[in-house]
Structure 1
Amino acid sequence: MALSIEQLMTFTTIVKAGSLGRAAALLNMTQPALSRAIKRLEQQLGAELFERHSKGMQLTDIGRAFLPHATSLHVEAKQALEEIQALRGAAKGTVRVGAVASIASSILPPAIERTLTKWPGLHFEVFEGVWDLLAASLSKHEIDLALGAEAPDTDEIVAIRDCCWEDTSHVIVASGHPLRRRRKLTLADTLHEKWTIPPPGTGPHQHVERVFAEQGLGMPDVIVRTRSITVLKSLVVDSGFLSWMAEPMFEPERRAGLIAPLSIAGVDGRRKLVAFRRRRGLLAVPAVKLLDELRRLTSTGSRKR
């Protein structure tokens, strides 16, 4: 039983849109034509994929089971077309890449620049976020590559271990914070200060937990938890908070004299960063081009932080 790209796109679009009317508008089809198309697909599969309601379309149990396969097949069909274009010397397409903030502000921009120099027909969609959201987006085919701190492989995503590098994180404060005048500062001296970091389950939070545990300490007093880098920096600069951040993320504020890292003996804030992909399926050709440039940059010692 052969399924066409159009059938797969029709099915996945209805799922995303939630109704025939919205899906028809997205696909530039009339609603009766779309209804007939999905009915033919159901007849071909021998099962109903949707339950029709006055408020929209809901997947049946069979529809829910079919969805991940349809999504994967649709993506791989598009990748096959891009592969053919690349072999013909006309690589086009869009690279959807997600990255934690330190990577989005450091190594990713030059990698994109190098990729475009060789493949000017490509376009990029860059998503910045904490690791748990990036991993979920990668699993759901919303991005092609995810760049973040080293983490265990899962059933859905795996690390590309020949594309790795390091960065260094620090306890950061406003340049005029009183702790900067302390000599022989220890991590214990920060315990009762006001802290702001991302919430539990995120890479930075886990990094802070590990660093404090290595010093035999519990977690500091975290007053504000947020995923927003802008909020974290504002609380540090304007409200006297401490935070934990990788060097590339606060480098502009350090140059401007707004933020400074604390010098704390015995604190190793280094971490390994890795590119990740989905375990199953082929990596899209445009994403391969970006990955090649990331490998070249990360293999250069001057790019490792």
Structure 2
Amino acid sequence: MDIPSGLPDLRVLRQFVAVAESGSFRRAADMLHMSQPPLSVAMHKLEAQLDVRLFERSPVGISLTEAGAVLLKEATLLLAQARRSVELTQATARGELGEVRVAFITSAMVSFLPEVLGRFSEEYPDVRLRLVEGVSVDVAGLVSSGRADVGLLSPPVELAAGVDGETVLVDRLCAVLPDDHPLASRRSIPLSALARERFVSYSADRVPAFHQRIVGACIEAGFQPNIVQEAAHIYTIMALVAGRLGVALIPGSAAASGHRGVVRVPIAGNSRLLETRIDVVHPRSGASAAVANFLSHCRRSSGVSLL
């Protein structure tokens, strides 16, 4: 945008407003913490620059001309906008304004993420949070393509070059059973106790890492799981279990959120195939201050282990 030459600067406009509002060069000079002669010179120069008379001068004081009254109104608005521009710029640099686009998997929302969102929104109420739910491969794709600033997913998932990940929650798979299942009252069970059960599993197409982990853990326990239904989302899996279509293995943090008609039973043993985690992923560089603040909140809430 072309800026016309010969415009008065903000300092001179501030001086003009002080003179106009006080009706006195002396009082205005006191308000501005300057001597009166330089202020009078500045106002004469402003009139010459604009080629208009701004003040009516008389022995009893000064008053504004019609042109001066217009300038007072416009200069007041301009100075207020200048102050607002500075405040918004500084707030944006501090991460107090802007937008953070967060992609997440369901298990993050039922475990780690709500606390982060709540605390972040309390500290930065003027930052807009845009939330998108998906499976881990979707989340990775959104971050890799720049359509999300931050992602919460369950690895392993292939990340694009320039995208980093760090663990914020360590979890463990547990059994989810219909509430009238013979094993529902047990404090824990070996995975082998489910060898004859029908399984509701994560989708091999949409959530391949979890699907493979569950199959691998069952094989390690001595049996091939009889998978009769697959679903991409935890709540769908729990609903199918509640409908007595089978049993399932899901992260303990998600199971702890509860679902009518199902119970959560820990799996005994120390198989590493039962361990899961949630990572926060983000571009290595170029994050806005608001995104950096959100990542800081994620890190502060990390270290939670449900093992």
TM class, shorter-chain normalised?
0.5 to 0.7
Q: Distance in 1 between matches of 2:179 and 2:277?
A: 28
Q: Which residue number corresponds to residue 100 of structure 1?
A: 105
Aligned CA RMSD, in angstroms, stands at 2.9
Cross-structure match for 1:168: 172
Deviations 1:175-215 (A, max 9, x none): 21123368995433423322112212524213213322433
After superposition, give the CA deviation of every residue in 1:253-283 in whole Å (9 maximum; x if it has no partner): 26x6x3223354325432232211135x412
Pairs aligned (count): 215
- In 2, Cα distance between equivalents of 1:247 and 1:184: 12
Alpha carbons 1:85, 1:92 under 8 Å: kept: no
Larger Rg belongs to = 2
- Paired with 2:143 and 2:200, the residues of 1 have a C-alpha distance of 27
Identity fraction in percent? 20
The residue that corresponds to 1:206 in the other structure is 212
CA offsets 1:189-242 (integer angstroms, 9 cap, x no match): 423322112212524213213322433443x11111111333211111122411
* 1:110 and 2:115 are equivalent in the alignment: yes
1:227 to 193, 215, 232: 232
Residue 248, structure 1, aligned to residue 253, structure 2: yes
Give the TM-score of the pair, scaled to structure 1: 0.61
Question: Is 2:171 aligned against 1:159?
Answer: no
**Deviations 1:96-148, CA, capped at 9 Å, x for gaps:** 11122221112211111211222111111222222111111222222111112
Deviation at 1:94, TM superposition (A): 1.8
Aligned-pair distance for 1:291?
Answer: 0.7
**2:256 counterpart of 1:238:** no
The match for 1:287 is 291
1:149 is aligned to 154
The TM-score, its normalising length taken from structure 2, stands at 0.61
8 Å CA contact 2:99, 2:127 repeated in 1? yes
Alpha carbons of structure 1 residues 183 and 170: separation in structure 2 relative to 1, 3 Å: closer
Alignment partners' CA distance in 1, 2:264 and 2:187? 14
Does residue 261 of the first structure (1) align with residue 264 of the second (2)?
A: yes
Q: Which runs of 5+ in 1 are unaligned?
A: 1-82
Matched, 1:129 2:134: yes
Question: What letter matches 2:161 in structure 1?
Answer: E
| 1:22-51 Cα distance to aligned partner (Å, 9 max, x none) | xxxxxxxxxxxxxxxxxxxxxxxxxxxxxx
- Compared CA separation, residues 88 and 262, structure 1 to 2 (3 A): closer
